[in-house]
Amino acid sequence: MIIDSHFHLAIDGYNNTFSYLDGTNGIPLVRPAVRRKKLLEEYKKNGIVTFIDPAIGMSYNERSLQLYNELSGTCQYYRAVGNHPGKCFDPDSYYERIYTANGIELSKRHMGIFARWKMRYKLDEYAGHESVIAIGECGFDYRKGRNNHLIEQKRWFVYQIRLADRFGLPLILHIRDSAKRAISVLRKNKEYLNHGGVWHCYNEDPKWAEIITQEFDRFYIGIGGYLFHEQYRDNIEASIKMLPLERILLETDGPYCMPPNPNRLPKTRWETALKNSKKSAVVQTILREKKYHLNRKKKLLSNKKYKKARNSSLILPMVINRIAEIKGVSPSVVEEITSQNVKDLFKI
Ligand SMILES: [Zn+2]
């Protein structure tokens, strides 16, 4: 049994028809457009019936609740509720126009505080629902374009750490380019970290994985499609080597974090083709060039198609196989231990 510990099924991208990635044959292939229901049927055929859907913003909590009611028992759909660090400062919900009794508009600062508490009460309400098994995504996002409102990000992070403790729930952490800061906040709030958590979509230096799993009780590392990206591969593989399997969870973060397109041409191909051709064989070079461009056009088209596809839990067999290779065990061992980890952490 495979459990996807992080999959945003309630996202709009899965509402209408969409093509999706299927990695059950070892490489990610684009499958023709389906609807959400059909995708879940495909999952079932491949033994994937359990997944956790964490919130990517305040309004998402409502959407996932709606989906939970719609699915009503057709699969094991669990929710995490929270306020994502990249979206924790939503001006529309913050700057409500509030007036005093004599009609004077309150300052923006006051409005911010008022709206923040209103959202927090709402979050408390969401956290009590039977389908909720964790709090998140919460944490820090310091990536370019999202690294605004850093104080607000911290307020929400700390609030959610304590909320999780009050409800006896684990945390789903979203930490991007901010490992040092996140660890420092977690250290300062250690007394509230009694129910564990997961650092989702891990791609940082292995030293942070070591710290979070050793310094804090029942903390795990989430591994998904980024394992195949050149940019993150070394960090993730080193982390997998260093960690015991008992500290790893599988996830897709669908529709995000897709594995790279296996058909994509390396950028240097054009230069190598020219370099290898002998001066005397000009004609041959021209022909090769022509062929190359035709091929490239075809590949680029397929890349467009690839990028449009949604990530799905069907890429998890690829992730399992790669982890098994790194750890030198059989894929079934990886599948069994990581699924047990999800059950242990989220108590499902
Ligand atoms: Zn996510």
Instruction: Give the whole-angstrom CA distance, residue 202 versus residue 180.
Output: 14
- pLDDT tens digits along 210-264: 999 999 999 999 999 999 998 999 999 999 999 999 999 999 999 999 999 887 6
**Residue 144: left (phi > 0), alpha (psi -120 to 50), or beta?**
beta
Instruction: Give the whole-angstrom CA distance, residue 319 versus residue 6.
Output: 14
The Å distance, Cα 278 to ligand 1 centre, comes to 51
The Å distance, Cα 86 to ligand 1 centre, comes to 11
Decide: residue 291, CB within 10 A, 0-12 exposed, 13-18 middle, 19+ buried.
exposed
Neighbours of 321 (CB within 10 A): 15
Q: Which of 249, 318, 309, 299 is nearest to 51 (CA)?
A: 249
| Residue 290 resides in a domain | no
The Å distance, Cα 95 to ligand 1 centre, comes to 26
Could you tell me where the DSSP H helices lie in the chain? Answer: 36-45, 58-71, 91-94, 108-127, 150-167, 179-188, 206-215, 230-242, 269-276, 282-308, 316-327, 331-346
Residues with a beta carbon under 5 angstroms from ion ligand 1 = 253
The Å distance, Cα 89 to ligand 1 centre, comes to 17
| Residue 272 resides in a domain | no
Structure tokens at 9: 């099924």
- pLDDT tens digits along 292-318: 777 766 666 678 888 899 999 999 999
Percent of the chain with pLDDT over 90: 68
187 vs 119 pLDDT, higher one: 187
| Residue 23 resides in a domain | yes
- Amino acid identity at 249: L
Which CATH number covers residue 7? Answer: 3.20.20.140
CB 311 within 8 A of CB 253: yes
Neighbours of 146 (CB within 10 A): 16
Provide the edge-to-edge strand list for the sheet that holds 219-223: 3-4, 50-54, 76-81, 132-141, 171-176, 197-199, 219-223, 248-250
The number of folded domains in the chain is 1
| Residue 298 resides in a domain | no
Q: Which of 312, 205, 317 is nearest to 258 (CA)?
A: 312
300 vs 72 pLDDT, higher one: 72
| Residue 283 resides in a domain | no
Structure tokens at 309: 């596809």
Structure tokens at 308: 């449009």
CB 143 within 8 A of CB 168: no
Structure tokens at 213: 């799993």
- pLDDT tens digits along 2-14: 999 999 999 988 9
| Residue 271 resides in a domain | no
The Å distance, Cα 276 to ligand 1 centre, comes to 45
The Å distance, Cα 231 to ligand 1 centre, comes to 19
The Å distance, Cα 107 to ligand 1 centre, comes to 34
- pLDDT tens digits along 184-205: 999 999 999 999 999 999 999 9
- pLDDT tens digits along 60-69: 999 999 999 9
What angle do the packed helices 269-276 and 282-308 form, to 10 degrees?
170
The Å distance, Cα 75 to ligand 1 centre, comes to 20
The Å distance, Cα 55 to ligand 1 centre, comes to 7
- pLDDT tens digits along 162-183: 999 999 999 999 999 999 999 9
pTM: 0.87
pLDDT, the chain, mean: 88
| Residue 179 resides in a domain | yes
The Å distance, Cα 137 to ligand 1 centre, comes to 7
**Structural domain of residue 40, as residue ranges?**
3-258+309-346
The Å distance, Cα 85 to ligand 1 centre, comes to 11
The Å distance, Cα 2 to ligand 1 centre, comes to 18
- pLDDT of residue 271 exceeding 70, the answer is no
Instruction: Give the whole-angstrom CA distance, residue 345 versus residue 330.
Output: 23
| Residue 252 resides in a domain | yes
- pLDDT of residue 277 exceeding 60, the answer is no
